A = this chain, B = another copy of it.
Amino acid sequence: MAAEKNELMEKIVSLCKRRGFVFPSSEIYGGFAAVYDFGPYGVELAKNIREAWWKYMVQLREDIVGLDAAIFMHPKVWEASGHVGGFSDPLAECKECHTRVRVDHLLEEAVVAADEKMSETAINQLFSLNKERIVCPKCGKKNFTEAKSFNLLVQSNLGNFTGNLGENPVYLRGETCQGIYVNYKNVLDSVRVKMPFGIAQIGKAFRNEITARQFIFRTREFEQMEMQYFTRPEAEMDEYEKLRAYRFQFYLDMGMKAEHLRWHKHENLVFYAKEAYDIEYQFPFGFKELEGVHARGDYDLTQHAKFSGVALDYLDPITNEKYIPHIIESSVGVGRMFLAFLTEAYTEEALEGGDTRVVLKLPKKLAPVKVAVFPLMKNKPELVAKAKEVFDSLKGNMMCEFDDNGNVGKRYRRQDEIGTPYCVTVDFDTIGQGEDKTLENTVTVRDRDTMQQERVKIEELSVYLQKYFN
């Protein structure tokens, strides 16, 4: 539980709530476990994260196309993928208070530093051996059942009109990549792609995590950004190295410090995987998986060909080679990347005079609001009218905010906390009522990070600001 007491984490969670980034779901109903909603600034940050990823993974890549498969798929997809049979976490129940716990997490916290990559069988044995020492986090007793496997696929009654909910369950997807695999042939047949090529997708997935933890780091409903890359069997590992480098570079390009990132190599690979690395980020609770970059071999398409009866071989139009493509993938959660960027951006700075300012030094491209426009004073109609005019001239090109509440200093603090790169102030000079008449139709532009102000002509403002956001 040490992680949850982390001070930086608490500050981030608190800022998220206070400033409208992330709200606990259904809060007026006492909340709904492990589900979160993005508030007005959170939705913009998440949107900008998706757009940055999409630009990097689709728009800039001639060899990658997008896809948006539905959350629901034919239930057989999940048999072919192995999720119906083997996608589970070890669950035990306290015999005293009936609390259900995830055994590996409890082990990790209470007994041994269990490796996240340990096999489920090994975890269950470890639990069995240590059972009488393990304390229920709810009632404090030491009386657990043996561990059993609990399937993580979330079931639903979509399209089931019998009234028997358990009958022929239809699953909410447990990962988005299956939607890519089952559309591989449709993409091949409709779009001019040639091997090697990738299909990228952003979308929600769902897992019945027994204990979801650490704010938006691990949630039952989450959004994945995945790219599956199809290659000739012989090219798999070369392409894998290229993809690893490309994905790591993404975070550096987005301004993350190299020392906050590292590679973690999986030791226990699933039987079909060739190699698996995670990009770990230094979250407030330590280095944890941010993104997975895995070489999956021909497992996925082979399974779907087998279960569907449809051939999924690729026939090379030039060499006439025929093969089941191998797949390498990159997979990262929007919520996890959101938390990583917030962690990277969260800064407290001592100001002259003893005050501290909290500032989110987000990459400018990702900032929820690009520019805030202020009239120097709220009760001067000419200032307000001119500020509205400036606001209106900018809002078509970037996300802007108009603020005339409180004094300018307070407005700066607020914009700093939501990470707004630039604040534009309309003052008496702007409207030709200041001392220096040459400043008419200019505004001050204040930089979030340096707090320096510059005087810019209104007519040049849009171009001046836009150059920072492309």
* Contact status B74-A46, CB under 8 Å: no
Give the B-binding residues of A (Cβ under 8 A): 17-20, 23, 25-44, 46-47, 54, 59-60, 62, 65-74, 76-77, 91, 100, 150, 154-161, 164-166, 169, 172, 179, 182-183, 185-187, 190-192, 199, 201, 204, 206, 208, 210, 220-221, 304, 307-308, 310, 312, 391, 395-397, 399-400, 402-403, 405, 470
Given A25-B72, A165-B169, A185-B28, verify A67-B91 contact (CB < 8 Å). Answer: no
On whether the beta carbons of A156 and B156 are closer than 8 Å, the reply is yes
Chain B residue with Cβ nearest A307 = B29
From B68, B71, B166, B470, contact of A46 by CB (8 A): B68
Closest Cβ–Cβ distance, residue A166 to chain B (whole Å): 4
Q: List, in ascending order, chain B residues with CB within 8 A of A17's CB.
A: 186, 190
| 21 A-B residue pairings within 8 Å (CB atoms) | A17-B186, A23-B183, A25-B69, A26-B77, A29-B73, A29-B77, A29-B307, A29-B308, A31-B74, A37-B67, A37-B179, A38-B68, A40-B191, A42-B68, A43-B201, A46-B68, A62-B402, A154-B156, A155-B156, A160-B208, A396-B470
Instruction: Give Cα distance in the complex from A343 to B64, angstroms.
Output: 28
Complex-state Cα separation, A460 to B139, whole angstroms: 71
Give every chain B residue within 8 A of A395 (Cβ-Cβ).
Answer: 59-60, 62
Given A26-B77, A38-B69, A161-B210; 17 other pairs, CB 8 A cutoff: A20-B65, A20-B190, A23-B190, A25-B69, A26-B182, A27-B182, A29-B307, A39-B67, A39-B183, A47-B66, A59-B396, A62-B402, A154-B156, A155-B156, A158-B172, A161-B208, A164-B166
Taking a contact as CB atoms closer than 8 A, the residue among B29, B310, B403 that contacts A28 in the complex is B310
**Residue of A59, A157, A165, A185 contacting most chain B CB atoms (<10 Å):** A157
Please state if A66 and B37 are interface contacts (CB–CB under 8 Å): no
Q: How far is the CA of A403 from the CA of B159 in the complex (A)?
A: 41
Who on chain B is nearest to A50 by CB? B47
Contact A32/B72 with A39-B67, A191-B39 known, Cβ cut-off 8 Å: yes
Interfacial chain B residues near A192, Cβ < 8 Å: 403, 405
CA distance A255 to B221 in the complex (A): 37
Judging by beta carbons under 8 Å apart, are A158 and B399 in contact? no
Q: How far is the CA of A71 from the CA of B396 in the complex (A)?
A: 30
Q: In the docked arrangement, what's the CA distance between A34 and B28, Å?
A: 35
Q: Please name all residues of chain B whose beta carbon is closer than 8 Å to the beta carbon of A30 when the two chains form the complex.
A: 74
CB contacts (< 8 Å) of A405 on chain B: these are 192
Measured between beta carbons, the chain B residues less than 8 angstroms from A46 are 68
**Cβ B62 vs Cβ A391 within 8 A:** yes
Specify the chain B residue showing the minimal Cβ separation from A334: B68
Minimum distance in angstroms from A183 CB to a CB of chain B: 6
- Cβ contacts under 8 Å, A34 to chain B: 159
Which residues of the partner chain B approach A160 to less than 8 Å between Cβ atoms?
Answer: 208
Report the minimum CB–CB distance from A126 to chain B (whole Å): 21
Contact partner of A157 (CB less than 8 A), chosen from B31, B47, B155, is B155
CA distance A55 to B297 in the complex (A): 42
A241 to B76, CA, bound (A): 49
Q: Give the nearest-CB partner of A399 in chain B.
A: B59
Q: Which 10 A-B pairs have the closest CB atoms?
A: A26-B74, A20-B190, A40-B65, A38-B68, A29-B74, A37-B69, A28-B308, A43-B68, A43-B66, A156-B156
Interface centre among A19, A35, A91 (most CB of B within 10 A): A35
Q: Which residues of B contact A20 (CB under 8 A)?
A: 65, 186-187, 190-191
A220 touches B66 (CB 8 A): no
- Contact pick for A27, options B35, B186, B312, CB 8 Å: B186
Smallest distance from the beta carbon of A21 to chain B beta carbons, Å?
A: 8
A225 → chain B, closest Cβ, in Å? Answer: 13
